[in-house]
Structures are given as structure tokens and as C-alpha cells.
Amino acid sequence: MRYVVQSSLILVCLATIACGEDASWPPKLPGTPGGTIALRSDLFLKTPDSIGTLQAKAGTPKFVEFEVAKHVPRVELALHDKLGENAANRRLWSSWGDIARASDGRVYCAIGDHGDDLGDARCFLYCWTPGKSSLEQVVDMNQVVPPRKGQPAWSKVHAKIDEGPGHKIYFSCTLNDGNRASQERYGFNESLPGGQIYCYDPAAGTTAVFASLPPRRCTATSLFDRERNVWWCNLEAGKGNALWGLNLETKQAVYQGEDGSLGFNRAFTLLKNGDILFNGEKSFSRLNVAKGEVKTLTAAIPDSPGMRCATRQTKSGELFGISHKTNQLFKYSPERDELTMLGPSWLAGEYTAVIELAPDERFLYYLPGAHGKAWQSGTPVIQYDIAAGKRKVLAFLAPAFDKEHQYVPAGTYGIKLSADGSTLFVNFNGHPGDAIRPLKMKPIGFGLTSFAAIHIPAEER
């Protein structure tokens, strides 16, 4: 899908950028004085023509049915800023990990420039304050780990961000590909032995190294067990994937699996009793943390290496998720080891990296098309009614934002709901509209990142 603007405006704006007359990044979006945008548009509820085009192109696959909300949401959106010198000519500004909603309501998210990892990459943490509707950069990783020639520089936060003890924020950075950490040319050393856990203190405004992962290992996947104070991750760059758990109070490892004992490594989930449900070689596996024992389960997602994302357990003990590659919704009961498939996430099945369960457990929320493709079907925000088994689009974001502000929000790897379920927070990848897009930047859903607060009308929840 391409959104049409006047050709004369395109030529003027692109010529200006190409000539270097305005190399600031992020760009100032048309129709706004800067800062946070607030938009409410009837276009949010108009189904894009591109969906019919995609269905015709797909041929035989039957697209899943959906309905569209009747009430227009209000959406606040802010671009990540303060990206450093010559930011317009960096590689690929992008976001790759899940975000955190802290107990005070603030939301933390991260972006990076997808740099080359050898002393020349940028990675930042931001804080959204709902009461102020403001997005503020709070951590510059090059200030935490000073760049040094031959030493890796972090280019992304791919694992989750979490609030831990003392209301502090914990996160871990990685390279473009965490498996590169095993390569000699990346020059890890005593001060930077590999991936690390960092701790941001909002009260003091400071960030420090909290602990190091085992040497020369990085992670793209993590979760935090708040009740037991254990931070879990998948260790990359070894001889296969392995679960690793660290007690944040003692800073002692509580578990490290054998390399190769974890299958598809982009998702695992925490069960109520502290066990970890993860993707094994051919089916789900379950780690009994107390005993340090792994049990291979019967349940296996058809034609898929496993879950790509999953919710917490409901009061009745079930959890929901979306499969990798096949992009199918599922319901799973750990107690019964029973898996129920619920159909495609969106259309014939669209890659989805994160999913949220509403506080009242009536709905699931997710945004399909995570890897830059969401805009092709309008960047839909999906609400799934668990009892009815129905999908509802709360908003098609891309057409409205492109028309009003020349910005196309695309895929996401990070979403969270407010405590009352009224607001969905999203950390977006995206690209500029045609009129302000640099010549070298393709409209592929990457290059210009943003954070959005989607206020769900009460009538729709």
C-alpha cells in the first residue's frame, strides 16, 4: 500500500533532503508544531482497499473474518528524538524488543540504529509519562558503556524491559545478531565480557551495569518473574540455545540449561508456579525450576517451531499465544497439556511478535505484521474477544497518520496495556510518508520509530 500525495510536494521535499538542506532526524512531521501528536480520525475505522488487493493476490487462502469498531479512538504519537550527530545518515533506526509498564504508570521502550557493533552503534532507552503525554530519552548506552575501538557497541534492545526491585528498570542490550558474540573479532573484554543486564534508576536518573551474562553470550529473549525476583533469558552465541535464570537479589544464577536444550528461541513464558514453558525441539517443554528438571510435553503447534508470543495465565489457568511461521492464535492449558488452535492472527496469518491479555481477561490485544509489513494492511490494532472468538479492528492507523502527518506507523515488537485496560501502548517501527522520505530510504516499515498511546473507547471494551 502506498498513500498518494501531490507529486509536486514530493519532488520539492525529496530534493530538499537529497541536497542536504535539512538533514535533521527525526524529521519534523507536517501538520504539527512538534512534540506529541494527538489524532482522532474517521479514517481509523475505514477498511483500506489494500486488504482486498492482498486477498486477491493471495489466491486460495481464506482471510479470517473481522469486524471494525464503531467508535473512533484517540491516538497520541511521538517520535524518538535526540539520536546524536548526523542521525539522518545512520543505518536503520528500529525497535526490536518488548516494552515495560512500570507500577507508576510510566512506560519504558528502546530503539537502536542497527549499527555494525564494533564501536559505532547507538542504542537508547525512553520513558513515556502518561500524565504529561511526553516521550523522554533517559538512557544513552554509549554513556553507560563508552565506545572503544575494537569493542562491541550495542545496537538494539531485543529482550524485554522490566520493572524490578526498588522500582528500577532492568534491560539487556545485544548486537545486530547475538550469535556474533562468539566471534573473536568482536573483542569482548573484562569490562564487557558479553551481554549484560543494566539497571536504570528513575529516581536518580542513572544507569549502571547490574550483572553480566555468562561470557560471550547475548540475549534477544527474556522475562522477569517478579514474585520470585528471577530474571530469565535465552543465552545465544553458544553451541545452541539455553535458558538461564538470575536471582536479582543475590545475583546468583538459579539455573543454566545445556546448550541446545531450547528450541525456537524468540519466546517462552512464565507459569503461575514459577515454571518456564518454552519451545522444545518438536513440542512444548516445561522447566520445573524448583527441581531443575525439564519435561518434554505432548502439545505441539502444527507446522510451527513453536510459540512466537504468549500471555500470562488466566485465573482459570490457560494462556494464549501466536505461533511462529504459521501465525495462528492458540489457547493452551499447562495443567492438561492441551492445545487448541483458534485460527489466523489476521488475514491468512500475519507475523505477530507480542500479545497482551486484558486485565479483566475478556480480550486479547495484538498488532500483526511485526516485521515492517503492518502498513500494507493499514497497521490494524486487533482486539480478540475470547468468549466470542471474534477479531475486531480498533483502528487502521497507517492511512490516517500518513494523510495528516506524513508518517506511516508499521510493525511492533512491544506493546503493553494500562492497568485499567483503557490504553494500549505501542513502540512502533515505521517510515516517513513519501513527501518527506529521503531518497535512500525505502517505504518498508523501518527507519523512523515512534511511540503511541492508543486510548480505547469505553464502548469498545
**Residue 137 in contact with residue 126, Cβ under 8 Å?**
yes
Q: Say what the pTM is.
A: 0.95
HSE, CB side, 13 Å, CA atoms: give it for residue 297: 23
Distant-in-sequence contacts of 50-55, Cβ < 8 A, 24+ apart: 50/1, 50/376, 50/377, 50/378, 51/347, 51/377, 51/378, 53/1, 54/347, 54/376, 54/377, 55/347
**Residue 362 in contact with residue 385, Cβ under 8 Å?**
yes
Percentage of the chain lying above the pLDDT 90 cut: 89
In the DSSP assignment, the letter for residue 184 is G
In the DSSP assignment, the letter for residue 347 is T
Give the integer Cα–Cα distance in Å for 143 and 207.
Answer: 9
In the DSSP assignment, the letter for residue 51 is H
For the segment 47-73, what is each residue's pLDDT rounded down to a tens digit? Answer: 999 999 999 988 888 899 999 999 999
Closest CA to 452 of 63, 164, 19, 73: 73
pLDDT (average), residues 25-46: 95
- Give the pLDDT score at 44: 98
Mean pLDDT, the chain, whole residue set: 94
Give the integer Cα–Cα distance in Å for 312 and 166.
Answer: 23
Write down how long the chain is. 461
**Residue 159 in contact with residue 175, Cβ under 8 Å?**
no
Give the integer Cα–Cα distance in Å for 82 and 383.
Answer: 33
Q: Is the pLDDT of residue 7 over 80?
A: no
Give the integer Cα–Cα distance in Å for 232 and 215.
Answer: 16
- Give the pLDDT score at 15: 35
Give the integer Cα–Cα distance in Å for 445 and 186.
Answer: 29
The one-letter code for the residue type at 131 is: G
Give the integer Cα–Cα distance in Å for 90 and 85.
Answer: 9
pLDDT (average), residues 159-172: 98
Banded pLDDT at 23 (limits 50, 70, 90): low
- Give the pLDDT score at 4: 36
- Give the pLDDT score at 280: 98
Domains of the chain: which residue ranges?
1-97+353-461, 108-123+137-266
Q: Is the pLDDT of residue 8 over 60?
A: no
**Alpha helices, DSSP H, located in 159-311:** none
For the segment 314-337, what is each residue's pLDDT rounded down to a tens digit? Answer: 999 999 999 999 999 999 999 999
User: What would the 3-class secondary structure string for 371-390 be?
Assistant: CCCHHHHCCEEEEEECCCCE
Give the integer Cα–Cα distance in Å for 152 and 187.
Answer: 7
Residue 151 in 3-state DSSP?
A: coil
In the DSSP assignment, the letter for residue 61 is P
Closest CA to 454 of 40, 163, 32, 30: 40
Lowest-confidence pick of 7-11, 243-247, 440-444, 454-458: 7-11
- Give the pLDDT score at 20: 41
For the segment 342-398, what is each residue's pLDDT rounded down to a tens digit? Answer: 999 999 999 999 999 999 999 999 999 999 999 999 999 999 999 999 999 999 999
Percentage of the chain lying above the pLDDT 70 cut: 95
Q: Is the pLDDT of residue 6 over 50?
A: no
Q: Is the pLDDT of residue 460 over 90?
A: yes
Give the integer Cα–Cα distance in Å for 247 and 182.
Answer: 25
**Residue 164 in contact with residue 170, Cβ under 8 Å?**
yes
Closest CA to 155 of 124, 126, 186, 179: 124
- Give the pLDDT score at 86: 94
**Residue 269 in contact with residue 312, Cβ under 8 Å?**
yes
- Give the pLDDT score at 11: 34
Sheet containing 293-296, strands listed edge to edge, beginning at the edge strand earlier in sequence:
268-270, 276-279, 284-288, 293-296
- Give the pLDDT score at 60: 82
User: Where do the DSSP E strands lie in 386-440?
Assistant: 390-396, 407-417, 423-432
